[in-house]
Amino acid sequence: MPSTDTKINEIFIPGPAGRLEAKYFKSKKNTAPIALVLHPHPQYGGTMNNKVVVDTFQTFVDNNFSVCRVNFRGVGKSDGEFDNGQGELADAAAALDWLERENFDNSQCWVSGFSFGSLIAMQLLMRRPEINRFIAISPQPNAYDFSFLSPCPTSGLIIYGKKDELVPLQYITELDKRLSSQKGIKVDFQLVSDANHFFSKSEELLVKSLDKYIKKETALY
């Protein structure tokens, strides 16, 4: 059920390279699940105000999560400079630390990322056993090595566009095959027929898929 109070707060989180600019929504329910949403590559214009990131954030809000989206170092008002993924992973870990401190009675912990953000999200879940679910939107296994998911520790959703101009479909198919063979987890792969890498003009289909998955996976909580 969507929250009636949708006040989004601008906050600053202490990070390893200085302050991290973030947007935060806190659910009125103490045991609400939490979610961290991560943005695309900073050197290609990626910020926490990217349309897909904002849509993902809002979908979590509408499902009564306490949710945070954060600018990596050097982006927007965040201190520091781009660090080729290692520093950005440390930023994500610091943001999750803060989110957990603010919501220590949370019932579930989710992490979501778009494009480069999905790589950081998946790396984070390998290091944080409290993460229950992940959402990876337009991952790029042709550009980044996802072999560290051996095995992937938790179930999640991977969603991508059939017309993704940056990722040949064979790479997604191979990732699907590898993760689907793992026991004890279930990774849902969803192909959005007319969508490109950025889900331009396919935002509604993306949100519908995200909402359906989130509702399904939180139904028991």
Quickly count helices (H) and strands (E) in the chain: 5, 8
Among the listed residues 110, 95, 115, 126, the one whose alpha carbon sits nearest the alpha carbon of residue 57:
110
**Complete edge-to-edge strand list for the sheet that includes strand 18-25:** 9-15, 18-25, 66-70, 34-38, 109-114, 133-137, 156-161, 187-192
Judge whether 4 lies within some domain: no
Domain that holds residue 192: 9-218
Domain with residue 146: its CATH number is 3.40.50.1820
Judge whether 125 lies within some domain: yes
Judge whether 173 lies within some domain: yes
Q: What is the pLDDT along the chain (221 residues), one digit of tens a residue?
A: 444 456 999 999 999 999 999 999 999 999 999 999 999 999 999 999 999 999 999 999 999 999 999 999 999 999 999 999 999 999 999 999 999 999 999 999 999 999 999 999 999 999 999 999 999 999 999 999 999 998 999 999 999 999 999 999 999 999 999 999 999 999 999 999 999 999 999 999 999 999 999 999 999 77
Judge whether 3 lies within some domain: no
Supply the Cα-derived Rg of the chain in whole angstroms.
16
Among the listed residues 74, 153, 143, 79, the one whose alpha carbon sits nearest the alpha carbon of residue 115:
143
Element spanning 125, H or E:
helix 116-127
Judge whether 2 lies within some domain: no
Into how many domains does the chain fold? 1
Judge whether 162 lies within some domain: yes
For residue 139, cis peptide bond before it (omega within 30 degrees of 0): no
Judge whether 1 lies within some domain: no
DSSP 8-state assignment for residue 47:
-
Judge whether 204 lies within some domain: yes
Instruction: Say what the pLDDT of residue 5 is.
Output: 53
Instruction: Say what the pLDDT of residue 3 is.
Output: 43
Binning the chain into helix, strand and coil, the percentages to the nearest 5 are 35, 20, 45
